[in-house]
Structure 1
Amino acid sequence: MTMNKPALPVESTDTYHDQVRIVLVETTHSGNIGAVARAMKNMGLGNLWLVNPKSFPDEASYARASSASDVLDRAQVVSSLDEALSDCVLVMGTSARGRKVPWPVISPPQAAVTAAENSARGPVALVFGRESNGLSNEELQRCHYHIHIPSNPDYSSLNLAMAVQVVCYELRMHYLRGLEEVESSPYLESMVEPGDRGWDVPPATVNDVEGFFGHLEQVLQDVDFHRRENPRQLMTRLRRLFQRAKLDQMEINILRGILTSVQKATVAREGVGRNTTAAGAVDEGQE
Protein backbone atom coordinates (compact mmCIF):
# COMPACT_ATOMS: atom_id res chain seq x y z
CA MET A 1 0.00 0.00 0.00
CA THR A 2 1.37 3.43 -0.94
CA MET A 3 0.95 5.91 1.89
CA ASN A 4 3.02 8.80 0.69
CA LYS A 5 2.67 11.34 -2.07
CA PRO A 6 5.73 12.09 -4.21
CA ALA A 7 8.31 14.19 -2.41
CA LEU A 8 9.74 17.42 -3.71
CA PRO A 9 13.34 17.29 -4.97
CA VAL A 10 15.92 17.03 -2.22
CA GLU A 11 18.42 19.83 -1.86
CA SER A 12 21.87 18.62 -2.89
CA THR A 13 23.44 17.00 0.16
CA ASP A 14 27.03 16.79 1.29
CA THR A 15 28.99 15.00 3.97
CA TYR A 16 27.91 17.50 6.63
CA HIS A 17 24.20 16.89 6.06
CA ASP A 18 24.63 13.12 5.80
CA GLN A 19 26.69 12.87 8.97
CA VAL A 20 24.23 14.73 11.18
CA ARG A 21 21.70 12.23 12.49
CA ILE A 22 18.38 13.16 14.11
CA VAL A 23 17.42 10.43 16.56
CA LEU A 24 13.88 10.20 18.02
CA VAL A 25 13.44 7.93 21.03
CA GLU A 26 10.17 6.01 21.48
CA THR A 27 7.95 8.55 19.77
CA THR A 28 4.34 7.97 20.79
CA HIS A 29 2.46 9.88 18.07
CA SER A 30 3.44 8.95 14.53
CA GLY A 31 2.22 12.32 13.27
CA ASN A 32 5.08 13.90 15.19
CA ILE A 33 7.52 11.77 13.23
CA GLY A 34 6.10 13.20 10.01
CA ALA A 35 6.30 16.73 11.40
CA VAL A 36 9.94 16.14 12.34
CA ALA A 37 10.69 14.90 8.81
CA ARG A 38 9.21 18.11 7.43
CA ALA A 39 11.22 20.25 9.87
CA MET A 40 14.39 18.43 8.87
CA LYS A 41 13.83 18.80 5.14
CA ASN A 42 13.03 22.49 5.58
CA MET A 43 16.58 22.88 6.88
CA GLY A 44 18.26 20.57 4.34
CA LEU A 45 18.64 17.51 6.60
CA GLY A 46 17.46 14.00 5.83
CA ASN A 47 19.15 11.47 8.13
CA LEU A 48 16.40 10.32 10.53
CA TRP A 49 16.68 7.45 13.01
CA LEU A 50 13.73 6.14 15.04
CA VAL A 51 14.24 4.18 18.24
CA ASN A 52 11.34 1.86 18.95
CA PRO A 53 8.51 4.13 17.72
CA LYS A 54 5.02 3.15 18.85
CA SER A 55 3.67 3.26 15.28
CA PHE A 56 5.65 3.71 12.08
CA PRO A 57 5.19 3.80 9.17
CA ASP A 58 1.54 4.76 8.94
CA GLU A 59 -0.81 7.23 7.27
CA ALA A 60 -0.50 9.86 10.01
CA SER A 61 3.26 10.15 9.73
CA TYR A 62 3.18 10.53 5.93
CA ALA A 63 0.29 12.98 6.08
CA ARG A 64 2.15 15.25 8.50
CA ALA A 65 5.36 14.98 6.48
CA SER A 66 3.70 16.67 3.50
CA SER A 67 6.35 16.71 0.75
CA ALA A 68 9.09 15.34 3.01
CA SER A 69 8.00 11.73 2.56
CA ASP A 70 11.44 10.87 1.17
CA VAL A 71 12.92 11.54 4.63
CA LEU A 72 10.49 8.98 6.08
CA ASP A 73 11.26 6.53 3.27
CA ARG A 74 14.94 6.58 4.22
CA ALA A 75 14.40 6.59 8.01
CA GLN A 76 16.26 3.93 9.98
CA VAL A 77 14.09 2.12 12.54
CA VAL A 78 16.00 0.40 15.36
CA SER A 79 14.99 -1.27 18.59
CA SER A 80 17.41 0.43 20.98
CA LEU A 81 19.31 3.66 21.47
CA ASP A 82 22.53 1.65 21.42
CA GLU A 83 21.88 0.71 17.79
CA ALA A 84 21.28 4.32 16.81
CA LEU A 85 24.45 5.58 18.47
CA SER A 86 26.93 2.75 18.06
CA ASP A 87 28.92 4.26 15.17
CA CYS A 88 28.63 7.91 16.23
CA VAL A 89 31.62 10.01 17.30
CA LEU A 90 29.52 12.61 19.12
CA VAL A 91 26.12 12.48 20.82
CA MET A 92 24.09 15.47 22.00
CA GLY A 93 20.70 15.12 23.69
CA THR A 94 18.01 17.70 24.30
CA SER A 95 17.16 18.34 27.93
CA ALA A 96 14.77 20.83 29.54
CA ARG A 97 15.59 20.15 33.18
CA GLY A 98 18.60 20.39 35.47
CA ARG A 99 20.43 17.38 36.83
CA LYS A 100 21.78 16.51 40.27
CA VAL A 101 25.13 15.87 38.65
CA PRO A 102 25.99 18.84 36.38
CA TRP A 103 26.50 17.89 32.73
CA PRO A 104 28.03 19.95 29.92
CA VAL A 105 25.13 22.05 28.57
CA ILE A 106 25.23 24.04 25.32
CA SER A 107 22.77 26.22 23.44
CA PRO A 108 21.38 25.31 19.99
CA PRO A 109 23.83 27.66 18.16
CA GLN A 110 26.76 26.12 20.05
CA ALA A 111 25.41 22.66 19.30
CA ALA A 112 25.38 23.47 15.58
CA VAL A 113 29.03 24.56 15.67
CA THR A 114 30.02 21.48 17.67
CA ALA A 115 28.13 19.16 15.31
CA ALA A 116 29.79 20.71 12.26
CA GLU A 117 33.26 20.49 13.78
CA ASN A 118 32.84 16.81 14.64
CA SER A 119 30.95 15.66 11.53
CA ALA A 120 34.20 15.39 9.59
CA ARG A 121 35.29 12.62 11.98
CA GLY A 122 32.11 10.57 11.74
CA PRO A 123 28.35 10.53 12.42
CA VAL A 124 26.96 13.01 14.93
CA ALA A 125 23.71 12.17 16.72
CA LEU A 126 21.21 14.74 18.00
CA VAL A 127 18.83 12.86 20.28
CA PHE A 128 15.26 13.89 21.13
CA GLY A 129 13.13 12.12 23.74
CA ARG A 130 9.55 11.12 24.26
CA GLU A 131 6.74 13.63 23.92
CA SER A 132 5.63 13.13 27.54
CA ASN A 133 8.87 13.11 29.52
CA GLY A 134 11.84 13.50 27.17
CA LEU A 135 14.98 11.44 27.65
CA SER A 136 15.63 9.40 30.79
CA ASN A 137 18.63 10.06 33.01
CA GLU A 138 20.33 6.95 31.68
CA GLU A 139 19.79 8.08 28.07
CA LEU A 140 21.08 11.58 28.81
CA GLN A 141 24.20 10.06 30.36
CA ARG A 142 24.96 8.56 26.95
CA CYS A 143 25.35 12.11 25.58
CA HIS A 144 28.55 14.12 25.48
CA TYR A 145 26.52 17.34 25.73
CA HIS A 146 23.01 18.33 26.67
CA ILE A 147 21.30 20.87 24.40
CA HIS A 148 19.09 23.33 26.24
CA ILE A 149 16.60 25.47 24.29
CA PRO A 150 16.08 28.64 26.39
CA SER A 151 12.30 28.78 26.15
CA ASN A 152 9.94 30.66 28.47
CA PRO A 153 10.54 29.16 31.95
CA ASP A 154 6.84 29.58 32.75
CA TYR A 155 5.91 27.46 29.72
CA SER A 156 9.03 25.63 28.64
CA SER A 157 7.59 22.46 27.09
CA LEU A 158 8.14 22.32 23.33
CA ASN A 159 6.37 20.09 20.86
CA LEU A 160 8.80 17.46 19.55
CA ALA A 161 8.84 18.82 16.00
CA MET A 162 9.29 22.37 17.30
CA ALA A 163 12.36 21.35 19.28
CA VAL A 164 13.81 19.58 16.25
CA GLN A 165 13.06 22.64 14.09
CA VAL A 166 14.96 24.96 16.46
CA VAL A 167 18.08 22.79 16.44
CA CYS A 168 17.92 22.09 12.70
CA TYR A 169 17.54 25.82 12.01
CA GLU A 170 20.77 26.52 13.88
CA LEU A 171 22.50 23.75 11.92
CA ARG A 172 21.25 25.33 8.70
CA MET A 173 22.42 28.81 9.66
CA HIS A 174 25.87 27.56 10.59
CA TYR A 175 26.13 25.70 7.30
CA LEU A 176 25.12 28.77 5.29
CA ARG A 177 27.56 30.99 7.15
CA GLY A 178 30.26 28.55 6.15
CA LEU A 179 29.23 28.90 2.52
CA GLU A 180 29.28 32.67 2.84
CA GLU A 181 32.95 32.56 3.79
CA VAL A 182 33.89 31.08 0.44
CA GLU A 183 31.14 32.46 -1.79
CA SER A 184 28.26 34.88 -1.61
CA SER A 185 25.19 33.20 -0.11
CA PRO A 186 21.83 34.58 -1.28
CA TYR A 187 20.19 32.87 1.70
CA LEU A 188 21.87 35.16 4.21
CA GLU A 189 22.10 38.41 2.27
CA SER A 190 19.66 41.05 3.46
CA MET A 191 17.48 42.85 0.93
CA VAL A 192 16.04 45.89 2.68
CA GLU A 193 16.62 48.87 0.40
CA PRO A 194 17.33 49.91 -3.21
CA GLY A 195 20.79 48.84 -4.29
CA ASP A 196 20.64 45.52 -2.45
CA ARG A 197 20.89 42.45 -4.66
CA GLY A 198 17.39 41.40 -5.71
CA TRP A 199 15.78 44.86 -5.50
CA ASP A 200 13.84 45.45 -8.71
CA VAL A 201 14.59 49.16 -9.31
CA PRO A 202 17.83 51.18 -8.95
CA PRO A 203 18.07 53.65 -6.06
CA ALA A 204 17.07 57.24 -6.71
CA THR A 205 19.99 59.60 -7.32
CA VAL A 206 20.55 62.85 -5.42
CA ASN A 207 19.32 64.67 -8.53
CA ASP A 208 16.11 62.57 -8.53
CA VAL A 209 15.42 63.28 -4.88
CA GLU A 210 16.18 67.01 -5.11
CA GLY A 211 13.83 67.29 -8.08
CA PHE A 212 11.12 65.62 -6.02
CA PHE A 213 11.69 67.96 -3.05
CA GLY A 214 11.43 71.00 -5.32
CA HIS A 215 8.23 69.64 -6.84
CA LEU A 216 6.79 68.82 -3.43
CA GLU A 217 7.49 72.29 -2.04
CA GLN A 218 5.83 73.92 -5.07
CA VAL A 219 2.68 71.81 -4.71
CA LEU A 220 2.47 72.54 -0.99
CA GLN A 221 2.56 76.24 -1.84
CA ASP A 222 -0.07 75.78 -4.57
CA VAL A 223 -2.51 74.31 -2.08
CA ASP A 224 -1.65 76.92 0.58
CA PHE A 225 -0.15 74.37 2.96
CA HIS A 226 3.33 75.90 2.93
CA ARG A 227 4.52 79.51 2.73
CA ARG A 228 8.08 80.37 1.80
CA GLU A 229 7.95 83.58 3.87
CA ASN A 230 7.09 81.59 7.00
CA PRO A 231 8.52 78.13 6.35
CA ARG A 232 9.05 76.98 9.96
CA GLN A 233 10.54 73.45 9.81
CA LEU A 234 8.11 71.84 7.37
CA MET A 235 10.47 71.08 4.48
CA THR A 236 13.27 70.09 6.86
CA ARG A 237 11.04 67.49 8.49
CA LEU A 238 9.68 66.28 5.16
CA ARG A 239 13.23 65.92 3.87
CA ARG A 240 14.14 63.86 6.91
CA LEU A 241 11.07 61.68 6.41
CA PHE A 242 11.69 60.91 2.74
CA GLN A 243 15.47 60.58 3.11
CA ARG A 244 14.82 57.95 5.78
CA ALA A 245 12.73 55.99 3.27
CA LYS A 246 15.69 55.58 0.84
CA LEU A 247 13.54 55.87 -2.27
CA ASP A 248 14.14 54.09 -5.56
CA GLN A 249 13.64 55.61 -9.01
CA MET A 250 10.18 54.12 -9.51
CA GLU A 251 9.00 55.42 -6.15
CA ILE A 252 10.23 58.92 -7.06
CA ASN A 253 8.31 58.71 -10.35
CA ILE A 254 5.14 57.62 -8.53
CA LEU A 255 5.38 60.42 -5.99
CA ARG A 256 5.99 63.04 -8.67
CA GLY A 257 3.08 61.65 -10.66
CA ILE A 258 0.85 62.14 -7.62
CA LEU A 259 2.10 65.70 -7.22
CA THR A 260 1.42 66.44 -10.89
CA SER A 261 -2.14 65.11 -10.51
CA VAL A 262 -2.67 67.35 -7.49
CA GLN A 263 -1.47 70.34 -9.49
CA LYS A 264 -3.81 69.55 -12.38
CA ALA A 265 -6.76 69.07 -10.03
CA THR A 266 -5.98 72.38 -8.31
CA VAL A 267 -5.80 74.25 -11.62
CA ALA A 268 -9.06 72.65 -12.80
CA ARG A 269 -10.84 73.54 -9.56
CA GLU A 270 -9.62 77.10 -9.72
CA GLY A 271 -10.77 77.32 -13.34
CA VAL A 272 -14.25 76.14 -12.41
CA GLY A 273 -14.35 78.72 -9.64
CA ARG A 274 -13.39 81.54 -11.99
CA ASN A 275 -15.96 80.49 -14.60
CA THR A 276 -18.69 80.36 -11.96
CA THR A 277 -17.84 83.83 -10.73
CA ALA A 278 -17.76 85.25 -14.27
CA ALA A 279 -21.13 83.68 -15.12
CA GLY A 280 -22.65 85.19 -11.99
CA ALA A 281 -21.37 88.67 -12.90
CA VAL A 282 -22.95 88.47 -16.35
CA ASP A 283 -26.27 87.36 -14.87
CA GLU A 284 -26.25 90.32 -12.50
CA GLY A 285 -25.54 92.73 -15.35
CA GLN A 286 -28.44 91.38 -17.40
CA GLU A 287 -30.81 91.81 -14.51
Structure 2
Amino acid sequence: MTPDFMTLAADRIRIVLVGTQHPGNIGSAARAMKTMGLHRLVLVAPEKRPNAESEALAAGADDVLASAAFHDDLASALAGCQRVLGCTARSRRVALPELTPREAAASMAGTVPQGDVALVFGRERTGLTNEELHLCHQAVHIPANPGYSSLNLAAAVQVLAYEVRMALLDRLDAAGPTEPRDPPASHEQLEGFYAQLGETLDAIDFHKGRSPDSAMRKLRRIFNRTGLDERELRLLRGVLADAQRMARLAGTGGGK
Protein backbone atom coordinates (compact mmCIF):
# COMPACT_ATOMS: atom_id res chain seq x y z
CA MET A 1 0.00 0.00 0.00
CA THR A 2 1.43 3.37 -1.03
CA PRO A 3 0.81 6.98 -0.03
CA ASP A 4 -1.72 6.98 -2.90
CA PHE A 5 -3.91 5.12 -0.41
CA MET A 6 -4.35 8.41 1.47
CA THR A 7 -5.53 10.12 -1.72
CA LEU A 8 -7.89 7.24 -2.47
CA ALA A 9 -9.27 7.38 1.07
CA ALA A 10 -9.82 11.14 0.92
CA ASP A 11 -11.74 10.66 -2.32
CA ARG A 12 -13.93 7.94 -0.83
CA ILE A 13 -14.77 9.30 2.62
CA ARG A 14 -17.87 11.49 2.76
CA ILE A 15 -18.61 13.76 5.68
CA VAL A 16 -22.40 14.18 5.55
CA LEU A 17 -24.10 16.97 7.48
CA VAL A 18 -27.89 16.63 7.74
CA GLY A 19 -30.19 19.60 8.27
CA THR A 20 -27.44 21.92 9.50
CA GLN A 21 -29.02 24.97 11.09
CA HIS A 22 -26.11 27.43 11.27
CA PRO A 23 -24.03 28.20 8.14
CA GLY A 24 -21.04 28.99 10.34
CA ASN A 25 -20.94 25.38 11.49
CA ILE A 26 -20.66 24.27 7.87
CA GLY A 27 -17.57 26.44 7.44
CA SER A 28 -16.04 25.22 10.70
CA ALA A 29 -16.70 21.61 9.70
CA ALA A 30 -14.99 22.22 6.35
CA ARG A 31 -11.96 23.56 8.22
CA ALA A 32 -11.93 20.51 10.52
CA MET A 33 -12.05 18.23 7.49
CA LYS A 34 -9.26 19.91 5.55
CA THR A 35 -6.87 19.87 8.51
CA MET A 36 -7.19 16.07 8.47
CA GLY A 37 -6.89 15.65 4.71
CA LEU A 38 -10.58 15.15 3.93
CA HIS A 39 -12.49 17.10 1.31
CA ARG A 40 -15.80 15.39 0.40
CA LEU A 41 -18.41 17.48 2.20
CA VAL A 42 -22.05 16.52 1.60
CA LEU A 43 -24.89 18.75 2.79
CA VAL A 44 -28.39 17.33 3.16
CA ALA A 45 -31.20 19.91 3.27
CA PRO A 46 -29.31 22.58 5.25
CA GLU A 47 -31.59 25.26 6.67
CA LYS A 48 -29.33 27.87 5.06
CA ARG A 49 -26.77 27.38 2.34
CA PRO A 50 -23.12 28.29 3.01
CA ASN A 51 -22.61 32.05 3.10
CA ALA A 52 -20.00 34.68 4.00
CA GLU A 53 -19.97 33.47 7.62
CA SER A 54 -19.28 29.94 6.40
CA GLU A 55 -16.35 31.16 4.31
CA ALA A 56 -14.92 33.17 7.20
CA LEU A 57 -15.04 30.21 9.59
CA ALA A 58 -13.67 27.84 6.94
CA ALA A 59 -10.39 29.77 7.38
CA GLY A 60 -8.86 28.70 4.09
CA ALA A 61 -10.93 25.58 3.44
CA ASP A 62 -12.92 27.45 0.78
CA ASP A 63 -12.23 24.67 -1.72
CA VAL A 64 -14.03 22.17 0.53
CA LEU A 65 -17.02 24.50 0.75
CA ALA A 66 -17.03 25.22 -2.97
CA SER A 67 -17.05 21.53 -3.91
CA ALA A 68 -19.73 20.51 -1.36
CA ALA A 69 -22.53 18.35 -2.76
CA PHE A 70 -26.16 19.16 -1.93
CA HIS A 71 -28.99 16.64 -1.55
CA ASP A 72 -32.63 16.90 -0.52
CA ASP A 73 -32.60 13.68 1.51
CA LEU A 74 -30.11 11.41 3.22
CA ALA A 75 -30.81 8.34 1.09
CA SER A 76 -29.67 10.09 -2.09
CA ALA A 77 -26.59 11.47 -0.30
CA LEU A 78 -25.55 7.91 0.58
CA ALA A 79 -25.86 6.52 -2.96
CA GLY A 80 -22.87 4.34 -3.79
CA CYS A 81 -21.64 3.97 -0.19
CA GLN A 82 -20.40 0.62 1.07
CA ARG A 83 -20.62 1.56 4.76
CA VAL A 84 -22.53 4.27 6.61
CA LEU A 85 -21.86 5.36 10.19
CA GLY A 86 -24.18 7.74 12.03
CA CYS A 87 -22.81 9.95 14.78
CA THR A 88 -25.29 10.14 17.64
CA ALA A 89 -25.32 10.94 21.34
CA ARG A 90 -28.56 9.05 21.96
CA SER A 91 -28.13 5.39 21.05
CA ARG A 92 -31.27 4.39 22.98
CA ARG A 93 -33.56 5.54 20.15
CA VAL A 94 -32.39 3.07 17.52
CA ALA A 95 -30.56 -0.09 18.49
CA LEU A 96 -27.56 0.01 16.15
CA PRO A 97 -24.18 -1.54 16.87
CA GLU A 98 -22.33 1.28 18.65
CA LEU A 99 -18.67 2.10 18.03
CA THR A 100 -16.23 4.47 19.64
CA PRO A 101 -14.68 7.06 17.31
CA ARG A 102 -11.51 4.94 17.13
CA GLU A 103 -13.42 1.78 16.25
CA ALA A 104 -15.47 3.66 13.68
CA ALA A 105 -12.34 5.10 12.09
CA ALA A 106 -10.75 1.65 11.85
CA SER A 107 -13.91 0.32 10.20
CA MET A 108 -13.84 3.16 7.67
CA ALA A 109 -10.14 2.71 6.93
CA GLY A 110 -10.74 -0.98 6.30
CA THR A 111 -13.59 -0.29 3.87
CA VAL A 112 -12.16 2.47 1.66
CA PRO A 113 -10.10 0.07 -0.49
CA GLN A 114 -13.43 -1.40 -1.66
CA GLY A 115 -15.56 1.73 -1.99
CA ASP A 116 -17.08 4.87 -0.49
CA VAL A 117 -17.92 5.27 3.18
CA ALA A 118 -19.99 7.97 4.86
CA LEU A 119 -19.86 9.52 8.31
CA VAL A 120 -23.20 11.19 9.02
CA PHE A 121 -23.81 14.03 11.47
CA GLY A 122 -27.27 15.31 12.43
CA ARG A 123 -28.81 18.63 13.34
CA GLU A 124 -27.22 20.76 16.04
CA ARG A 125 -30.24 20.60 18.38
CA THR A 126 -31.92 17.30 17.60
CA GLY A 127 -29.39 15.11 15.79
CA LEU A 128 -30.53 12.45 13.33
CA THR A 129 -34.12 11.20 13.16
CA ASN A 130 -34.97 7.54 13.69
CA GLU A 131 -35.60 7.16 9.97
CA GLU A 132 -32.19 8.62 9.15
CA LEU A 133 -30.46 6.39 11.69
CA HIS A 134 -32.15 3.37 10.09
CA LEU A 135 -30.15 4.17 6.93
CA CYS A 136 -26.89 3.78 8.90
CA HIS A 137 -25.12 0.48 9.44
CA GLN A 138 -23.50 1.44 12.75
CA ALA A 139 -23.67 4.24 15.28
CA VAL A 140 -20.71 6.29 16.53
CA HIS A 141 -20.80 7.79 20.00
CA ILE A 142 -18.21 10.26 21.27
CA PRO A 143 -17.77 9.49 25.00
CA ALA A 144 -17.89 13.10 26.17
CA ASN A 145 -18.11 14.23 29.78
CA PRO A 146 -21.56 13.00 30.92
CA GLY A 147 -21.87 16.07 33.13
CA TYR A 148 -21.41 18.39 30.14
CA SER A 149 -21.78 16.48 26.90
CA SER A 150 -22.71 19.45 24.69
CA LEU A 151 -20.41 19.08 21.70
CA ASN A 152 -20.42 21.58 18.84
CA LEU A 153 -21.07 20.06 15.41
CA ALA A 154 -17.70 21.13 14.01
CA ALA A 155 -15.93 19.83 17.13
CA ALA A 156 -17.58 16.44 16.62
CA VAL A 157 -16.44 16.47 12.99
CA GLN A 158 -12.92 17.31 14.15
CA VAL A 159 -12.83 14.42 16.64
CA LEU A 160 -13.95 11.90 14.03
CA ALA A 161 -11.78 13.34 11.26
CA TYR A 162 -8.71 13.09 13.50
CA GLU A 163 -9.46 9.46 14.37
CA VAL A 164 -10.01 8.66 10.70
CA ARG A 165 -6.66 10.19 9.73
CA MET A 166 -4.85 8.24 12.44
CA ALA A 167 -6.52 5.00 11.34
CA LEU A 168 -5.55 5.65 7.73
CA LEU A 169 -1.94 6.36 8.70
CA ASP A 170 -1.83 3.20 10.84
CA ARG A 171 -3.16 1.17 7.94
CA LEU A 172 -0.63 2.76 5.60
CA ASP A 173 2.24 1.87 7.95
CA ALA A 174 1.09 -1.67 8.71
CA ALA A 175 -0.24 -2.68 5.31
CA GLY A 176 0.89 -5.94 3.83
CA PRO A 177 -0.33 -7.95 0.86
CA THR A 178 -4.07 -8.56 0.94
CA GLU A 179 -6.17 -11.14 -0.82
CA PRO A 180 -8.60 -9.79 -3.41
CA ARG A 181 -12.26 -10.07 -2.50
CA ASP A 182 -15.56 -9.21 -4.05
CA PRO A 183 -16.63 -5.57 -3.59
CA PRO A 184 -18.74 -4.91 -0.49
CA ALA A 185 -22.46 -4.53 -1.12
CA SER A 186 -23.39 -0.89 -1.65
CA HIS A 187 -25.90 1.02 0.42
CA GLU A 188 -28.48 0.83 -2.38
CA GLN A 189 -27.92 -2.91 -2.81
CA LEU A 190 -28.42 -3.49 0.90
CA GLU A 191 -31.58 -1.39 0.96
CA GLY A 192 -32.90 -3.40 -2.00
CA PHE A 193 -32.14 -6.60 -0.12
CA TYR A 194 -33.93 -5.35 3.01
CA ALA A 195 -36.97 -4.39 0.94
CA GLN A 196 -37.06 -7.88 -0.61
CA LEU A 197 -36.53 -9.46 2.81
CA GLY A 198 -39.52 -7.54 4.19
CA GLU A 199 -41.67 -8.62 1.25
CA THR A 200 -40.61 -12.24 1.71
CA LEU A 201 -41.40 -12.24 5.42
CA ASP A 202 -44.86 -10.89 4.59
CA ALA A 203 -45.33 -13.52 1.87
CA ILE A 204 -44.60 -16.41 4.25
CA ASP A 205 -46.66 -14.81 7.07
CA PHE A 206 -43.61 -14.72 9.31
CA HIS A 207 -44.98 -11.97 11.55
CA LYS A 208 -48.28 -13.74 12.35
CA GLY A 209 -50.11 -10.43 12.69
CA ARG A 210 -47.38 -8.78 14.79
CA SER A 211 -45.76 -5.49 13.75
CA PRO A 212 -42.86 -6.21 11.38
CA ASP A 213 -40.80 -3.23 12.55
CA SER A 214 -39.06 -4.91 15.48
CA ALA A 215 -38.07 -8.01 13.51
CA MET A 216 -36.77 -5.95 10.60
CA ARG A 217 -34.65 -3.78 12.92
CA LYS A 218 -33.06 -6.87 14.44
CA LEU A 219 -32.46 -8.46 11.03
CA ARG A 220 -30.87 -5.26 9.78
CA ARG A 221 -28.48 -5.28 12.73
CA ILE A 222 -27.51 -8.89 12.05
CA PHE A 223 -26.78 -8.36 8.37
CA ASN A 224 -25.09 -4.98 8.88
CA ARG A 225 -22.60 -6.62 11.24
CA THR A 226 -21.53 -9.16 8.62
CA GLY A 227 -20.19 -6.75 5.99
CA LEU A 228 -21.81 -8.59 3.07
CA ASP A 229 -20.08 -8.45 -0.29
CA GLU A 230 -21.88 -8.33 -3.63
CA ARG A 231 -21.62 -12.08 -4.29
CA GLU A 232 -22.99 -12.95 -0.85
CA LEU A 233 -25.86 -10.52 -1.33
CA ARG A 234 -26.72 -12.07 -4.71
CA LEU A 235 -26.86 -15.48 -3.03
CA LEU A 236 -29.18 -14.23 -0.29
CA ARG A 237 -31.45 -12.49 -2.77
CA GLY A 238 -31.63 -15.72 -4.78
CA VAL A 239 -32.76 -17.55 -1.64
CA LEU A 240 -35.42 -14.90 -1.04
CA ALA A 241 -36.59 -15.08 -4.65
CA ASP A 242 -37.09 -18.86 -4.32
CA ALA A 243 -38.92 -18.39 -1.03
CA GLN A 244 -41.23 -15.85 -2.67
CA ARG A 245 -41.86 -18.21 -5.59
CA MET A 246 -42.75 -21.09 -3.27
CA ALA A 247 -45.05 -18.78 -1.28
CA ARG A 248 -46.87 -17.83 -4.48
CA LEU A 249 -47.23 -21.48 -5.48
CA ALA A 250 -48.56 -22.38 -2.04
CA GLY A 251 -51.03 -19.53 -2.24
CA THR A 252 -52.41 -20.71 -5.58
CA GLY A 253 -52.32 -24.39 -4.69
CA GLY A 254 -49.71 -25.00 -7.41
CA GLY A 255 -47.31 -27.88 -7.51
CA LYS A 256 -43.60 -27.96 -8.06
Query: Structure 2 length normalisation: TM-score?
Result: 0.64
Which residue does 2:35 correspond to in 1? 42
Deviation digits for residues 175-213 of structure 1 (CA, Å, limit 9, x no counterpart): 22233336xxxxxxxxxxxxxxxxxxxxxxxxxxxxxxx
Which residue does 2:112 correspond to in 1? 119
Corresponding residue SS for 1:116:
helix
Deviation digits for residues 140-173 of structure 1 (CA, Å, limit 9, x no counterpart): 1111000010001111121000000000000111
Residues of 1 paired with 2:146 and 2:45: CA distance? 30
Aligned pair count reads: 173
Which among 98, 102, 115 is matched to residue 91 of structure 2? 98
Which among 68, 82, 106 is matched to residue 75 of structure 1? 68
Which residue does 2:48 correspond to in 1? 55
Residues of 1 paired with 2:93 and 2:29: CA distance? 30
Deviation digits for residues 63-86 of structure 1 (CA, Å, limit 9, x no counterpart): 110111110011001111111012
Corresponding residue SS for 1:89:
strand
* One-letter amino acid of the counterpart of residue 79, structure 1: D
Which residue does 1:148 correspond to in 2? 141
Query: Structure 1 length normalisation: TM-score?
Result: 0.58
The residue correspondences of 1:271-282 to structure 2 (distance < 5 A) are none
The root-mean-square deviation of aligned C-alpha atoms, in Å, is: 1.9
1:33 and 2:23 matched: no
Corresponding residue SS for 1:139:
helix
Deviation at 1:89, TM superposition (A): 1.0
Corresponding residue SS for 1:56:
coil
Corresponding residue SS for 1:14:
helix
| Residue 63 to residue 81, structure 1, CA distance change in 2 (3 Å) | same
Residues of 1 paired with 2:82 and 2:62: CA distance? 28
Which residue does 2:16 correspond to in 1? 23
The residue correspondences of 1:199-278 to structure 2 (distance < 5 A) are none
* One-letter amino acid of the counterpart of residue 136, structure 2: C
* One-letter amino acid of the counterpart of residue 127, structure 1: V
1:88 and 2:72 matched: no
Corresponding residue SS for 1:151:
coil
Residues of 1 paired with 2:72 and 2:47: CA distance? 11
| Residue 58 to residue 132, structure 1, CA distance change in 2 (3 Å) | same
Corresponding residue SS for 1:48:
strand
Deviation digits for residues 81-123 of structure 1 (CA, Å, limit 9, x no counterpart): 1110121111100110132553200000000110011112211
| Residue 33 to residue 93, structure 1, CA distance change in 2 (3 Å) | same
Which among 171, 181, 184 is matched to residue 178 of structure 1? 171
| Residue 87 to residue 179, structure 1, CA distance change in 2 (3 Å) | closer
Deviation at 1:13, TM superposition (A): 5.4
Deviation digits for residues 223-275 of structure 1 (CA, Å, limit 9, x no counterpart): xxxxxxxxxxxxxxxxxxxxxxxxxxxxxxxxxxxxxxxxxxxxxxxxxxxxx
Residues of 2 paired with 1:111 and 1:81: CA distance? 20
Corresponding residue SS for 1:45:
coil
Deviation at 1:137, TM superposition (A): 1.1
**Which structure 2 residue ranges, 5 or more long, are not aligned?**
176-256
User: If you compute each CA radius of gyration, which structure gives the higher value, 1 or 2?
Assistant: 1
Q: Is contact 2:6-2:168 (8 Å) kept? A: no
Deviation digits for residues 37-76 of structure 1 (CA, Å, limit 9, x no counterpart): 0000010100100001112231011111011111001100
Residues of 2 paired with 1:55 and 1:63: CA distance? 15
Which among 161, 164, 177 is matched to residue 157 of structure 2? 164
Which residue does 1:138 correspond to in 2? 131
**Which structure 1 residue ranges, 5 or more long, are not aligned?**
1-10, 183-287
Higher relative contact order, chain-length normalized (CA < 8 Å, sep 6+): 2
1:66 and 2:96 matched: no
Corresponding residue SS for 1:49:
strand
